[in-house]
Amino acid sequence: MKLELHRLKVNALAWGERTSLVGGRLTIDGEALRSLLAEDSRFRSVALDLALPGDKVRLIPVKDVVEPRCRLDGGPLFPGFVGDVETVDEGETVVLEGAAVVTCGAIVGFQEGIIDMTGPGAEYTPFSKTCNLVVSLEPVEGLEKHDYEAACRLAGFRAAHYLANAVRGVAADSVETVVWPPLSEALSAHPGLPRVAYLYMLQSQGLLHDTYLYGVDVKRILPTLVSPTEVMNGAIVSGNCVSACDKNSTYAHQNNPVIAALLRRHGREINFVGCIVTNENVTLADKKRSSGQAVKLARMLGVEGLLISEEGFGNPDADLIMNCHRAEAAGIRTVLITDEFAGSDGASQSLADATAEATAVVSAGNANARIVLPPMERVIGFPREANVIAGGFEGSLRDDGSIEVEIQAITGATNELGLGRLSAVTV
């Protein structure tokens, strides 16, 4: 399996009569794109805005962030949503690097986020550094919340595909190639190096807590093995309303830093043999079922090490710790990636569960830390949602337009894939 990512660098956005990319400047035909998205009868209105690094602009409430991409051959991307459900583990894909589609809309799950393009809040989100096309979507009267979320999700994918497809004839600035061998070859490759797999936990805790694999809600699956090229090429997309700080946006899945780090070390320090996708469940029986199946797959692969990343906090902490305990009991060494909810002073217990075997843990930061976001010259979206957003409180939005919140409310602030901008040191 060979995947080529044809990267076109984007460093500026502008409106124009047709969508084109020249010298890193992406010009967008706003009317054509708005007409495309307005074909969905579930929307009462569709508004488009631009938000660039350094702009005194706030986006609220953010639902998803998607990197613009399309298949060079016109094949499916975001399978199950845009295009057919054919596998996406190989081929040639156009990537508009530096650009992002950000969807905003009326709050539904109380856990959408904030992106500030400048100021102290911008230091906590990776999306203050991307050139953002913001799609603000209002539903028709009486539309059910889950239908509204589904419509917003699809709109983000369609907008991202439209941008990349419109410029796919432009020569790439660089081409990243990943060749992934058949499993029989992978398992016997690189003798002498420790065999390592990645256990990829995905949010799936109920309505509005959804993640999709090839268009299937992962709460409906047993853990399964996927190649890193499938993840890199849009097989996994976000559909959840968990807290903005550690929600894995679709952009985060497309650019998973864990997979990138494992690929960089593959063949030199480790033998990376694949990704085990698992879900995060609500009932104890479901947690046991998924944890048991995930560790069974790791044992079948004969791995010595398992890197485990979490999505969310609280209830999913139990899944994380169960996965760790079962793997360690099977003789597989684990490293966990999580964030912390340790109170605003950092003195409370960081995770809702624990085990003695969790001796190697990477922290993405304390999401309860508080921050005051200064007023911006322009707000795209619905600023009063700051009073009900997760990490906010009644009175978070002040009369002068500033907002006091926990960094939990900032999109990507403590991302558990490592896409955030915080770092940690051992002291």
DSSP string, 365-394: EETT-EEEEPP-SEEEE-GGGGGTSBTB-T
Burial of 24 (0-12, 13-18, 19+ CB in 10 A): middle
> Active-site positions?
241
Would you tell me the crossing angle of helices 145-166 and 30-37 to the nearest 10 degrees?
A: 140
| Rounded distance between C-alpha atoms, residue 306 and residue 335, angstroms | 7
The pair of three-digit structure tokens given for residue 64, joined into one six-digit string? 């998803």
* Residues across the chain: 427
Which has the closest alpha carbon to 166: 26, 52, 276?
26
Strands 174-179 and 2-9: antiparallel
Which SS3 state, helix, strand or coil, does residue 231 take? helix
Q: How far apart are CA 85 and CA 378, in angstroms?
A: 40
Q: How many CB atoms within 10 Å of residue 383?
A: 17
Residue 89: which residues within 8 A CB-CB, separation 6 or more?
Answer: 1, 3, 180, 227, 229, 230, 233, 235
Q: Is 46 left (phi over 0), alpha (psi -120 to 50) or beta?
A: beta
* Spatial separation of the C-alpha atoms in residues 346 and 340, rounded to whole Å: 9
Query: Whose structure tokens read 């009267």?
Result: 141
Give strand pairing partners of 82. 77
Q: Name residues whose C-beta falls within 8 Å of residue 86's C-beta, 6 or more positions apart in sequence.
A: 75, 76, 79
Pairing of strands 333-340, 361-366: parallel
What pLDDT does residue 175 have? 97
Cβ–Cβ < 8 Å for 287, 325: no
Q: What amino acid occupies position 71? A: R
Q: What letter would DSSP give residue 345?
A: T
pLDDT along the chain (427 residues), means of 10: 96 98 98 97 96 97 96 86 90 97 82 93 97 96 90 95 95 96 91 97 87 94 96 93 90 97 96 97 95 98 97 93 98 96 89 93 94 96 86 91 95 94 75
Provide the whole-model pTM.
0.96
Token pair in block for residue 348 = 């409370």
State residue 109's pLDDT score: 65
Of 350, 353, 298, 300, the residue nearest 328 (C-alpha)? 298
Residues 168 and 158: their CA atoms lie apart, in Å, by: 15
CA distances from 250 to 53, 83, 209 (A): 20, 16, 14
Place of tokens 């976001």: 373
**What is the model's pLDDT at position 77?**
87
Q: Parse the chain into domains and list their residue ranges.
A: 2-409
165 CB neighbour count, 10 Å cutoff: 19
Taking the CB of residue 267, how many other CB atoms lie within 10 A of it?
12
